[in-house]
Amino acid sequence: MSRRPTFLSGLLAVVAATAATAAVAETVVMAAGVAAAGVGFVVVVAGATLARSRSRVLGAVFVLAGLGAAAGGAAAGAVFADDTLQAAILAPGLVGAFFVTLGVAPLRGTGSRRLIKVASWLVFLGPVLSAGMKYTEPTNIIDMARVLGATVAAALVWDLGENSVSLGRHVGRKATTFWNETVHGVGSVLVGAVSAGGAYVAFGFGTGGQPLEGVFFLLIAIVLLVAFLHS
Amino acid sequence: MSKLTVLRLTLKALVFVLGAAAAAVGLAAFFMPGLADSFSFVRRLEATLGNDYLLVASVSAVALLLGLVFAFRGRAGTVQQAETPDAEGVESVPAPGDDFDELVGEAKGWRSREKKEEVRERVREAAVDVVASEENCSRPEAERYVDTGTWTADRYASSFLGGRDAPQLPLLTRLRVAYGGSPFETAATRAVEEVYERAKEDEDV
Amino acid sequence: MSEQDTDADTDGRDSYPTRRWRGMTALALFAGGAGVLADRPLILLTAAVWVGYSAYPRLTGGTSVDLTVERELSETAPTHGDTVEVETTIRNEGGTLSDLRFVDGVPPTLSVESGTPKHATSLRPGGSTTFSYEVVAKRGRHSFVPATVVARNLSGSVEVDTTAFGETVIECAADIDDIELRKQASQYTGRVLTDEGGSGVEFHGTREYQAGDSISRIDWNRRARTGELITLEFREERSAKVLLVIDARPEAYVASADDEPSAVTYSVFAADQLFKSLLASRDSVGLAVVGREDVWLPPSTGDEHRTRAREILTKHPALVPSPPRRNPDEDQFRRLRKRIDSSTQVIVLSPLADDRMAEKARRIDARGNAVSVVSPDVTTDGSPGRELAQVERERRLSELRQADIPVVDWDVEVPLAKVLAHTREQWSG
């Protein structure tokens, strides 16, 4: 019946994907384009909900309008880009946001975790590519904040999106889930904020001149410890 | 605990211990430059590979490969969660006779001869009872009426239940019925309706 | 407003990992590796975020569930078709439940009309939450089943799947008249006729049928199509031991429509009325059920006995409104036959939806016990099968009557008490 992904988390997952992409946009115009696309995606999700609960026609209108806005925003961003490379960096994130929309709207049935997983990987690329291409020497805190913030948002895409689908399968869209989603979301955001903060602090120590052996062992340590944390 | 679990746990413990040790060494090397020299194998490794970049690059390559493995293990399909019941639905029970309708539905196909026989038998039983009670005759007599099709004027009903002696439906009618839907289902429905009508009349009398 | 209070609740331990955070380490390694390879420290920093998320599931422990479920019903005695609002309150008696998902245990035979019995929230120790929804009442007695509870820790890495029970019952009278009849003492009067023939019992005469007249003394008119009743007076020395046998096999779980109670529910209802009436005239009454499980309550008298019978009729799993999945084992009939002694009269309550029960009734009768049958008619029309079912049931009725077993063909639209008192109008006019 109504086991569709819950509205709040699903919407926030779309917003997170959009925010992650917009955060690493080079110019304001491109960021605005991405934001417009994001708004379009949100409208699509709202339309899909309307179509199934209240009015098919109105819902369809919303969906089409949203898709149009998304396409428009993406196109505008691409057209007004100073640099094709910069636009290319934003592409995976936009596609990711689109996939989240599909997974959460939902396109079919009870939503798709798979789509959301792929979306989170795509959105992950945004800050990585951006930091790779542009920030060879991260100078100010703002640039670092943008990249780190975009990374946290990418994690939230998966967390909130998957929670939306999971809650939907457990209790459905009609049920009240506000506090559940809120508490869960706050926890995830806090973890991200702490990790990003820790990264920033650690960066302070990471100025050059380390002996190679130290770096070598530390890298190995990191790989081993991450492997330990797995599953 | 199974052997596999024990193996997994020891492996994990080993990884942790090695990682912690490596971290300790690495951090120590930062603060005590003298320590770095005792690990000369690192320099030798670097010499073999070429330069220091390739050294760390090889570690990263391993990390990336490991990442691929973990990515596969962490794909969306591995997530599991409980199943919850559908609390809004109603467990409804069938109405008396729904099993017969289901049987007729199953018997409709061209392969289900036994089911067709079962349907026929059931309707025949009912018809014989009704005829016996209505005409106030014995069962064998009633059976004769049904077999010869003389119990009813309805050609569909009589041909459905009748034996060889019963009049068959004219060919044109049969073709028309076959075109419109299942001839078996139509005949069975007509036969049951006929029996039902007669039973109702009998009751009211 | 009625508050159905409940006892506290279970602490299930069916906990397992959800594995929802598994992909984080991969991304940490990708970011780290890319950062080193591209010589971009900032990318390496993003890896720290992923490492943080990799550690998150390990930092959140397991959960244990200790909940109390209470429900408030808007109607204590709804009539069939009424909407009843159920307000469920969940209270956390244990530690913090950061991620709680709850599906209320709506009785499987009732449908939810508006709202949803599902809810998700976050409860601190001692916290509670309330939500409500509406169900449609149906004739019969419907108990809430254990609610499904799924609880997760804050990160969602570990999940516990358990249940929570709160006793709540929605009981719906079959008819307005029944409520009235329960409130007032039934006043049955009836002229009475003698019967020629009979089963070796002398008839001493007739008298007005009075309240509390034993149903067992009612000689069912055997040739009538409807339950016309003749009351006779037996010799006092003849004791009346009566056994009510309820047909609760899967075949008996039939109903005339989706929102109507099943024949088993009607049989249970009839059994309750007959039990009360028979006990009132100091007959010993017993109860047996053929179905999901063996049920045997030997004929006896007294208040305690009545309570025990009521317990069985209202709570025993053999008589719940949902049909069993399997047929009872063959031996059930045999065991029942063994328990019935020769002086017991048997009243069978069955819709006669198939041949077996009628056949068993005939066999018991042939053995020497006096058997009668009360059969709720839940047949309907609208399809060939259903019409055929009517015809087949009529045949079973007449076959039973031909074997001198009286049958009360109970049209369930009419309250049973009226059917049994039908004779009053018929004969006193």
Q: Which tens digit of pLDDT belongs to each residue from B36-69?
A: 667 777 777 777 777 778 888 888 999 999 999 9
Least confident of A197-206, C204-213, C248-257: C204-213
User: How close does chain C come to B104, measured CA to CA in Å?
Assistant: 9
Q: Which residue of A has its CA nearest to C121?
A: A180
User: How close does chain B come to C136, measured CA to CA in Å?
Assistant: 11
Share of chain C above pLDDT 90, in %: 36
Q: What is the pLDDT of residue C206?
A: 32
Q: Out of 2.70.170.10, 3.40.50.360, 3.20.20.70, 2.60.40.10, which CATH number does the structure's domain C2-15+62-172 have? A: 2.60.40.10
The residue extents of the domains of chain A are 7-200
Q: Quick check: C12 and C163 in contact, CB under 8 A?
A: yes
Contact A217 B39 (CB under 8 A): yes
User: How close does chain A come to B105, measured CA to CA in Å?
Assistant: 27
d(Cα C182, Cα B188) in Å, to the nearest integer?
47
Least confident of A179-188, A207-216, B156-165, C30-39: A207-216
Q: What is the pLDDT of residue C203?
A: 29
pLDDT digits (tens, 9 = 90+) for B78-136: 898 888 888 777 777 889 999 999 888 888 777 778 888 888 889 988 988 888 888 88
Would the pLDDT of C174 be above 60? no
Q: Which two tokens stand for residue C372?
A: 């009668």
Q: Which residue of A has its CA nearest to B65?
A: A223
Q: What is the pLDDT of residue B165?
A: 60
Closest Cβ opposite residue C36 in set B60, B89, B92: B60
d(Cα A16, Cα A8) in Å, to the nearest integer?
12
Q: Which CATH code for domain C176-186+240-427? A: 3.40.50
Helical spans, DSSP H, in B32-88 = 33-36, 40-49, 52-73
Tokens 């591209």 correspond to C38
Strand order in the sheet with C83-92: C2-4, C67-73, C83-92, C128-136, C112-115
The residue extents of the domains of chain B are 13-71, 98-204
Average pLDDT over residues A217-230: 89
Tokens 């069955």 correspond to C350
Residue C245's pLDDT band (cuts 50, 70, 90): very high
Interface contacts A/B by beta carbons within 8 Å: 114
| SS3 sequence of C8-65 | CCCCCCCEEECCCCCCHHHHHHHHHHHHHHHCCHHHHHHHHHHHHHHHHHHHCCCCCC
Closest Cβ opposite residue C19 in set A176, A192, A231: A231
Contact C109 B88 (CB under 8 A): no
Q: Quick check: C38 and C55 in contact, CB under 8 A?
A: no
Helix axes A56-79, A28-53, angle to 10 degrees: 170
Average pLDDT, chain C: 77
In chain A, residues with a C-beta closer than 8 Å to the C-beta of C48 are 195-196, 198-199, 202
Q: Which residue of A has its CA nearest to C42?
A: A131
Residue C242's pLDDT band (cuts 50, 70, 90): confident
Q: Is B4 on the interface with A (CB under 8 A)?
A: no
Closest Cβ opposite residue C106 in set B59, B69, B87: B87
Average pLDDT, chain B: 82
pLDDT digits (tens, 9 = 90+) for C60-86: 888 889 999 999 999 888 888 889 999
pLDDT digits (tens, 9 = 90+) for A166-196: 999 999 999 999 999 999 999 999 999 999 9
Average pLDDT over residues C251-264: 85
Would the pLDDT of C88 be above 90? yes
| SS3 sequence of B122-143 | HHHHHHHHHHHHHHCCCHHHHH
User: How close does chain A come to C383, measured CA to CA in Å?
Assistant: 29
